[in-house]
Each structure stands twice: as C-alpha cells, then as structure tokens.
Chain A
Amino acid sequence: MLAQTVLAPHRATAPELGTVKALMTEDESPVSDAPLYRPEAIGLLLLALLLSPKGPKEKK
C-alpha cells in the first residue's frame, strides 16, 4: 500500500497510543480566566450605588 511504502511506520507503542488518546480528548482549560473586577472598567457611577460592591483591596 502507498501509505506503508511511503511511511513505513511501526505499530504504536503504549505511550504513543496514550498520547494520541490524550490529544483526541483534550480537556477544558484547568484555570478559568473569567471576567473579574477591573478598576479601569468600573467608572465613578458605581460609587453612587446604594447596594453596590466595593472594589477588592489593592493587589499586592
């Protein structure tokens, strides 16, 4: 067969099979980068809210 003559591959080893399986079933990103408090995105209007969140402390 063309593929065999061209590629002459060897039967996959267990680690190779495991790698292929992992690439097929990539998991979601383990860390969320969900939108959080950003001082620059708030605006002064928030100060006027009666039941409004306070901004978190300054990050060190």
Chain B
Amino acid sequence: MNPAVLGDAHRLATRALEWLHTAHEQGHGALPPDGGADLSDPDNAYKPIGECALAASLVLRETVSGPTERERARVLLDFGWQQLRQGELLYERQFRHMLLSDPLETYLHFHRSGYRHPALDELLSGLDGLRATHAVETMPNRRLAIANARHVIGLGSRPDWDALAAATWLGARPEPWAIDWTTGYSVTHTVFHLTDWGALPERLPAPLREYLAAWLPVWADIWRETGQWDLLGELLIVDACLPEPVCDPQNWEQLVAAQRADGLLPRDLDPVDEDPERAFKDNEHTAVVGVLAGTLTLARALR
C-alpha cells in the first residue's frame, strides 16, 4: 500500500486520539453528576461515551498502535466505564427498556475490551432469546449494528447476514449517482457492522464489495471536494473494511491537512466554535472517525 497513505493514516489517528484524550483530561465528555438511568437527552455525553469507547476498543483490538496510544485508549475506556458506573447505567436502562438496543451497542465496546457487568450479560442473553427483541422495527443498517453487537458479545442468536445486508440501501446496489448525505452514512454503517469494523471483510457479500470498489472513490471524491471531513473519514473507514484500498491517496492528504495542530479534526468547512465544550460536542464524532479511519487502514495494510 501507498506509504504516504500509511503515514497520513498514522498521523491522523494518533493526533485525533490525542485530542480526544486531552479533551477528556480537560473535563469534557462527562455525564451530568446527578444523572440516573435517563440517558435519552441527545445532547448529553451518553452518545460520545459510546463513540469514544468504540474508537478506543478498536485501537486495542488492532495491534498497530504504539504504547502511548494504547494507554490513551485504556484511559478513555476506563473513563467511560466509570461514567457508566461500571455498566450499572447500561444495565438499568436495558432492564427498564427491554426493546432498546443502545445499552447493548454501548456495552459492546467495553465488552470487547474486557469490561464485564455479569447481570447485564445475563439480561442480554435472555433478551436475545425473545422474538420480541429481534422483531423490533429498525432501519436495516441499524439491524446490522445490533446483530454485530450480539455476535461480538457472544449471544446465541445466529443472524442471516446476507439477508440483513440485502435489506439495506447498499444491499440494493442502487444507482450510485442517487446517493445523498444521510444515505452516505447509512452505507458506511452497513459496512462497519457487516464487517465488524474490518475484522470480517468476507461477511460483506462479494457483489457489495465489487459495488463499493467501483463507487466508493466517487463518493469520497465529491465529499472531499465539499469538505465533508466527517463523512469522508467514514468513507475511508469503509475503504479500510475492503480487502484492498480503492480510494485515491489525495483523500488522505486533504483529511490530514484539515486536521488542526491540536489534533481537532473539523467535521466540515464551518468555523470551529470558540467555546471548548461546544467544539468538543461538535467535533468529537469526527475525532472518533479519524482514529478509526487511521487505525483500521494501518491494520488492513499489516494483515
């Protein structure tokens, strides 16, 4: 693989992780101190905690990061696990709302990294045996997220991956010129969960791999040109989930060029908010994307 891309991937991931780590040291990303199990406020830290845990869990899963990065990943996971009161908040939320999937999906990242909440394990295992939880009406790419979470945690159900894939937008192999911004995210998430973030590339059906090899470079190009760094980063994660790279190296150059000296990767071309708390909330997702794109690209190259 192109050495310049690997250099860019390393740089992007390392600095994005450093920015996340520093932001947490400065006190961002914490739940309100009085918070109970009501995690439903979309503006609170529940979602960022899950996303940071995702990035950290994959830094630890792959063997491409140095000791400093692994240590930072562990700090982020410890922080998140402590925020979730060692999984107790997830357990309470899942106990009260048996059809919700976000406790399962958030637990996945911690579970992958060795954290356990035995009562939650037992609860999830029981819920996995219900028709009711499998029949919840969910967007097809979200179904894949849930199925992959159950699979990685080791629950008993055996999904039909091809059928799940076929139900997504990507699964239809649609006219590639008809994609829109939101659907771009549907595509990336379909690939993330279907391949378990690049670990199982063969779970992506061959026709979809071929389809992505043809059209992913086009989507990366149009959203690179328009400075959609968050979406471009997700598309480069998709690239890293394919057996071979398909996107142009200049995507990497521009993504790295967009990253600020402090490691903040802006989500798009809008000015970054001067309020640090707002800047964290606005760009935390893109930092997670940067860590994942860089880490998974390096991991694919070394496989």
A and B touch in the complex (CB under 8 A): yes
Q: Are B181 and A45 in contact (CB under 8 A)?
A: no
Q: Are A53 and B230 in contact (CB under 8 A)?
A: yes
Q: Interface on chain B toward A: helix, strand, loop, or mixed SS?
A: helix
User: Could you list some 5 contacts between A and B, CB below 8 A?
Assistant: A37-B182, A50-B106, A51-B285, A53-B231, A54-B281
* B10 CB to nearest chain A CB (Å): 22
Q: Say whether A47 faces chain B, with CB atoms less than 8 Å apart.
A: yes
B142 surroundings in chain A (CB, below 8 A): 48-49
Q: Given A34-B223, A57-B273, is A50 in contact with B181 using a C-beta cutoff of 8 Å?
A: no
Contact pick for B226, options A32, A47, A49, A52, CB 8 Å: A32
Q: Say whether B180 faces chain A, with CB atoms less than 8 Å apart.
A: yes
Q: Say whether A38 faces chain B, with CB atoms less than 8 Å apart.
A: yes
Q: Given A32-B225, A34-B225, A37-B181, is A47 in contact with B230 using a C-beta cutoff of 8 Å?
A: no
Q: Which of B220-242 contact A (CB under 8 A)?
A: 222-223, 225-226, 228, 230-231
Q: Say whether A15 faces chain B, with CB atoms less than 8 Å apart.
A: no
Q: Given A50-B106, A56-B267, is A45 in contact with B185 using a C-beta cutoff of 8 Å?
A: no
Q: Say whether A20 faces chain B, with CB atoms less than 8 Å apart.
A: no
In this complex, how many residues of chain B approach chain A with their Cβ under 8 Å: the count is 33
Q: Say whether B8 faces chain A, with CB atoms less than 8 Å apart.
A: no
Highest count of chain A CB atoms <10 Å: which of B102, B182, B185, B268: B182
Q: Which residues of A contact B (CB under 8 A)?
A: 32, 34-38, 41-43, 45-54, 56-57
Q: Interface on chain A toward B: helix, strand, loop, or mixed SS?
A: loop
Q: Given A32-B222, A34-B225, A56-B267, is A50 in contact with B185 using a C-beta cutoff of 8 Å?
A: no
Q: Are B180 and A41 in contact (CB under 8 A)?
A: yes
Q: Say whether B288 faces chain A, with CB atoms less than 8 Å apart.
A: yes
20 additional A-B residue pairs with CB within 8 Å, beyond A48-B142, A54-B282: A32-B222, A34-B226, A37-B181, A37-B182, A41-B182, A45-B139, A48-B102, A50-B51, A50-B105, A50-B106, A50-B145, A51-B51, A51-B54, A51-B285, A52-B285, A54-B281, A54-B285, A56-B267, A56-B270, A57-B273
Q: Are A34 and B189 in contact (CB under 8 A)?
A: no
* B89 CB to nearest chain A CB (Å): 15
Q: Are B105 and A53 in contact (CB under 8 A)?
A: no
* A28 CB to nearest chain B CB (Å): 11
A47 surroundings in chain B (CB, below 8 A): 42
* B197 CB to nearest chain A CB (Å): 10
A48 surroundings in chain B (CB, below 8 A): 102, 142
Q: Given A42-B182, A50-B47, A50-B50, is A36 in contact with B102 using a C-beta cutoff of 8 Å?
A: no
B50 surroundings in chain A (CB, below 8 A): 50-51
A38 surroundings in chain B (CB, below 8 A): 180-181
Query: Nearest chain-B residue to A47 (Cβ)?
Result: B42
Q: Say whether B179 faces chain A, with CB atoms less than 8 Å apart.
A: yes
Provide the bound-state CA to CA distance between A2 and B228, in Å.
Answer: 58
Q: Are B182 and A46 in contact (CB under 8 A)?
A: yes
B273 surroundings in chain A (CB, below 8 A): 57
Q: Which of B29-82 contact A (CB under 8 A)?
A: 42, 47, 50-51, 54
